[in-house]
Chain A
C-alpha cells in the first residue's frame, strides 16, 4: 500500500535551517508529483510547493520563494524539504502528500517544526 513516512519532530533556533524527509513506498516513485503543505498551530492548510521526482523540477508558493528547497532522491524514494532563515512564524506541522492526477490522495503523518 502507498505510504509516506516523514522524519521526526525538530526544534530550531530563529535564523536556523531545517531539512525534513518523506520516504515513499508502495508505488512507482518517479510517476507522481509530491506536494508539501504546512499547518501552523490552530490554523488551516497552506501550500508550500511541489516537486516532480522524475526530473527534480519544482514549483514553490510565492510566499516561500527563496527560502525553501525541495529535492528528491530516486535511489531511496525519499523527498526532502529544506526551509532556511526560520522564524517563529514557521512553527508548524509540515506534510508531504502525493498528487494523484490533481487531488492529494496520500499524505505523510506530518513533521512538527518548532522555532524557538
Chain B
C-alpha cells in the first residue's frame, strides 16, 4: 500500500502569514493527489485535486504543487477562517486510497 507522510502535524501562524504543508508519498503517485480541509466536527471538503487544480469555489489564496512523491499545500495569506485540519490523499492506487495523518493549523 502507498503510505502518505504529512508534516508538520501542527502549525501555528499569524494572520497574513504564508504557510505551507508537505505531503510525501512512499512511491511515485504522479500528480494523483488531493488536499482536504476539515473544520471541527464537520465533514472534509475538497480544496485541490490533481496536485494543483483548485476546486470550484475555493479561495485563490490556496494553492498546491508537486509531483511524484513530494507535494505542498500553500496558503498565501492566512485568514482566521482557515483554522482547520488539512489532509492529503493519494488516488494513484486506484480503488485503494490513503490519507496523510493530517496537519492541524492554528492562529498564533
Q: Which residues of A contact B (CB under 8 A)?
A: 35, 37, 44-47, 50, 59, 61-62, 95, 97, 100, 102-105, 107-110
Instruction: Please name 18 further chain A to chain B contacts, defined as beta carbons within 8 Å, in addition to the given A37-B99, A103-B46, sorted by A numbering.
Output: A44-B102, A45-B89, A45-B102, A47-B96, A47-B99, A62-B1, A100-B46, A100-B49, A102-B32, A103-B34, A103-B50, A104-B36, A104-B46, A105-B55, A107-B45, A109-B42, A109-B43, A110-B43
Known A44-B101, A108-B43, A109-B43: A59·B89 in contact at CB below 8 Å? no
- B52, chain A: closest CB distance, angstroms: 12
**Chain B's interface: helix, strand, loop or mixed, by majority?**
loop
Whether the pair A95, B43 counts as a contact (CB closer than 8 A) is: yes
Q: Which residues of B contact A (CB under 8 A)?
A: 1, 32, 34, 36, 38, 42-46, 49-50, 55, 87, 89, 91, 95-102
